[in-house]
Amino acid sequence: MNDRKESSPLGAGGLNTTVLIIDDDEDILLSARLFLKQQVKQVITCKSPKEINVLLSKNEVDIILLDMNYQKGASDGREGLYWLEHILSIDKDYVVILMTAFGNVELAVKAIKKGATDFILKPWENEKLFATISAASKLRESNRKVKKLEKIHKSLQKDMTRGFEHIVGEADVIRNLQNTLLKVAPTDANVLILGENGTGKQVFAYEIHGNSQRKNQVFMHVDLGSLNENLFESELFGYVKGAFTDAKEDKPGRFELADGGTIFLDEIGNLTLPLQAKLLSVLQNRTVTRLGESKERKVNVRLITATNMPLNEMVSKNTFRQDLLFRINTVELLLPPLRKRGTDILLLANHFMQVFSSKYHKELRSLSTQAKNVLLNYSWPGNVRELQHVLERAVIMSDGNEITEQDLQLSPQRFAQNNAIPDEMALGDMEKLMVQKAIDKHKGNISKAAADLGLTRAALYRRIEKFGI
């Protein structure tokens, strides 16, 4: 191989870049090398483009200076175009600068259309060559940064989705909510999710995002409850360098970062009136202005909000703006507390038992009848989150392959408030719950359970089959 490599401590130019020059003219190679070795980290020269593959596989090349003609007498530049395509097929991010003779500008334009970054006319002036290489080096650097950020973005997205559960639930109220969710998700309608703490508002918000056309874009969760007056604007709208003492560099806000995706504003009921006004203006104009600048930046986000506070009541007490409520509640989802979800309690408990069994390498397969009764009769003030914690602890404490009442360690004061029958439970769900309770009470004895329910054994079996108990 007739290539030549020269490395030097960064010279006067100080460009931290490696340049590969391919030209069949020895004089060109020599003069380019002599000049560039003082300007860049490394210069590699080579006479034949046939060596490109080997050179690119052995060296971390940033910029390639490529001649257009190699065969004797050739001047149509076809070889250069061929090798340009070849290089870009190895990695489309290579920065290729073509060297062409005066009068061949049309050819250079054609090459740029095919993906070359720039061209330089031969013979060149060193200053012009340096300016071209310097611009190309900046481009290569920013391409690299973009690639790195894309990787980080992808892995963050994976992390974000990994943490979310799919909605578990079969109670009529949950099914109805899921139907509404599927209808509303593909639209860009603003959704307000209401419900007590731990009822799954974030799970529903993510499910809306996951069923929308924005599913491959960012899902940005912002806990408004944790932002004080000072942080609110800088976090949500961003700032420019110098906007305040600690603003050392420009920073986009959460709205800008969520551009193209979904922004989930949690605990919206906690916003003070002045902050509500600021948020409303962004939602109305769909633009944000970073602190310290006057430029308005357009943002395209889908808005989902959530709270456990009674927003309608707050409007009548003038602690929540009615115009903001109208802006955010195009569709409202009201998540019922867990104590009103009937046998979904057991469904969720089984689900969490499986999740934690596999996490803690345990072989738990079922809940004892007593444990089921306890779960159904507990009031669940912390809702699904509490159930999740209770099951995690039970899986850890359990010795056998069945979770017992003792493993659950539920506080006795919290019983009796809950008869596990929701206020607005559908008849079918109620019947299923009664059947399940009777079977549990008689420890699976069908005759006794049927007698208790005033049914024949056959009638009870039909219901067991119907409800999949």
List contacts with ligand ATP (CB under 6 A). 165, 167-169, 195, 197-203, 266, 308, 384-385, 388
Instruction: Return d(Cα 427, Cα 435) in angstroms, integer.
Output: 12
Query: What is the Rg, in whole angstroms, of the alpha carbon atoms belonging to the chain?
Result: 33
Strand residue runs (E) in 335-431:
366-367, 402-403
User: How far apart are CB 338 and ligand ATP at their closest, in Å?
Assistant: 8
The dihedral through the CA atoms of 269, 275, 276, 278 has a sign that is: negative
Cα separation, 157 vs 83, whole angstroms? 37
Q: Are 24 and 48 in contact (CB under 8 A)?
A: yes
Q: Which is nearer to ligand ATP, 105 or 334 (CB)?
A: 334
Nearest position to ligand ATP, beta carbon: 200
Is there a contact between 421 and 342 (Cβ–Cβ < 8 Å)? yes
Q: What is the DSSP letter of 268?
A: G
CB of 199 to ligand ATP, least distance (A): 4
By beta-carbon proximity to ligand ATP, the closer residue of 81 and 173 is: 173
Q: Using the minimum distance from each CB to ligand ATP, give the nearer residue, 286 or 359.
A: 359
C-beta of 228: minimal distance to ligand ATP in Å?
18
Residues in the chain: 469
Select from 345, 353, 337, 364 the least CA-distant residue to 437. Answer: 345
In whole angstroms, the minimum distance from the beta carbon of 267 to ligand ATP comes to: 7
First to last CA, the chain: 76
Residue nearer to ligand ATP on the CB measure, 119 or 219: 219
Count other C-beta atoms under 10 Å from residue 415's C-beta.
12
Q: How far apart are CA 71 and CA 105, in angstroms?
A: 20
CB closer to ligand ATP out of 201 and 209: 201
Nearer to ligand ATP, 141 or 165 (CB): 165
Report, in Å, the least distance between residue 256 CB and ligand ATP. 24
Strand (E) or helix (H) holding 239: strand 238-239
Looking at beta carbons only, is 288 or 394 nearer to ligand ATP?
Answer: 394
Residue 66's SS3 state is: strand
- In whole angstroms, the minimum distance from the beta carbon of 320 to ligand ATP comes to 17
CB of 160 to ligand ATP, least distance (A): 13
